Structure 1
Amino acid sequence: MIRRIALVLVLLFIGILGMAAMQPNTFSVTRSVTIKAPPEKILALVGDFHQWQGWSPWERLDPSMQRVHSGAPSGKGAVYAWTGNDDVGAGKMEITELTPPSRVVIKLDFIKPFEVSNVTEFTLVPKDGQTQVSWTMSGPMPFISKIMSVFMSMDRIIGRDFEKGLANLKAATEK
């Protein structure tokens, strides 16, 4: 009986590793919202890390999170580093490209709970007095992430946070 249980556990473990190995090597998550505001007003909040406390979904998860701003005050070269509880971890963002009023590209380096580098991009497209804002994160899928993706959807987890953040951004800019 113990051998059968051990055999089932080994086969289950091999199956999980096999499913993980078949996962893609990269991921991409995108969410969008239409905001009744000009792109310039939205860009002022997205392209300035000092403004993220007002709309970022992660800022509210740890009120005592430590934040350090460096580099340029805003726009290209602005850097934002944070250290917080288990909900926010630790990491650093740097704006690597800002094309007014339509695009912000951010290099995102997570340090805790695990090290990984991703790229985040905001695109702002004006249309009929409103702006279509898209928030995308893309990056590599290390093997540990592939194993996690067997049990949970990166798109659903990150997407939920993006939806909250975009709703906050909408509320902040439509005031």
Structure 2
Amino acid sequence: MIKKTLLLIAIFVAGVLGFATTKPDTFSVQREVTVKAAPDKVAALVTDFQKWQLWSPWEKLDPDMQRTYGGPASGLGAKYVWHGDDKVGAGRMEIIEAAAPERTVIRLDFLKPFESHNTTVFTLTPQGDGTKVNWTMTGPSPYVSKVMNVFVSMDTMIGKDFDKGLANLKEVAEQ
């Protein structure tokens, strides 16, 4: 009986590991919202990292999080480094492309609790008396991520945070 149980466990583990190899080499998470505010007003909240404290879903997770800002106050070259508890980890962001208010591209490097290097893009499109805000994050999906993806997708893990962040951004921009 023990041998059969161990064999079934081994088959299950081998199946999960094998199935993980079929997962994509990259991931993408995307959400959007329409905000009743001009693109310039929304862009000001995205391109100035110090204003992320007003809307980012991760900013309030660790009240003692340490933040350092560098480069220009906003736009191309603006930098943001954080170090916090296990909920927020440590990392850095830098705006690497700025075509405000239409498009902002951010290099996002997580250092803790795991290292990853991703790209975040905010695209702002005028829509009537408001702005459609599209928030996308893409990055590589190494094998460990593929194994995790067998059970829960990056979209499921991060998508709810994007939804919360966009709702916060909408609320702040519409004030």
TM-score, normalization: structure 1? 0.98
1:43-82, CA deviations, whole angstroms, 9 ceiling, x for partnerless residues? 0000000100000000011111111111222111011011
The answer for the alignment partner of 2:21 in structure 1 is 21
Please tell me the residue identity of whatever aligns with 1:163: D
Distance 1:90 1:150 in 2: 26
The answer for the alignment partner of 2:57 in structure 1 is 57
Please tell me the residue identity of whatever aligns with 1:88: V
1:99-149, CA deviations, whole angstroms, 9 ceiling, x for partnerless residues? 021000000000011111000000000011110000000010011100111
Deviation at 1:86, TM superposition (A): 1.1
Matched, 1:137 2:137: yes
Please provide the CA RMSD for this pair. 0.7
Please tell me the residue identity of whatever aligns with 2:148: M
Distance 1:71 1:16 in 2: 45
Please tell me the residue identity of whatever aligns with 1:151: F
SS at 2:150 equivalent: helix
Deviation at 1:2, TM superposition (A): 1.5
For this pair of structures, how many residues does the alignment match? 175
Distance 2:115 2:100 in 1: 31
SS at 1:31 equivalent: strand
SS at 1:52 equivalent: helix
Deviation at 1:83, TM superposition (A): 0.8
TM-score, normalization: structure 2? 0.98
The answer for the alignment partner of 2:93 in structure 1 is 93
Please tell me the residue identity of whatever aligns with 2:20: A
Distance 1:87 1:157 in 2: 13
Distance 1:12 1:65 in 2: 41
Distance 2:41 2:126 in 1: 12
Q: Spell out the pairing of 1:104-119 with structure 2 (5 A cutoff).
A: 104-119=104-119
Distance 1:91 1:101 in 2: 25
Please tell me the residue identity of whatever aligns with 2:26: T
Distance 1:54 1:127 in 2: 23
The answer for the alignment partner of 1:76 in structure 2 is 76
Aligned residues with identical type, % of pairs: 57
The answer for the alignment partner of 1:155 in structure 2 is 155
SS at 2:5 equivalent: helix
Deviation at 1:3, TM superposition (A): 1.0
The answer for the alignment partner of 2:43 in structure 1 is 43
Matched, 1:102 2:102: yes
SS at 1:22 equivalent: coil
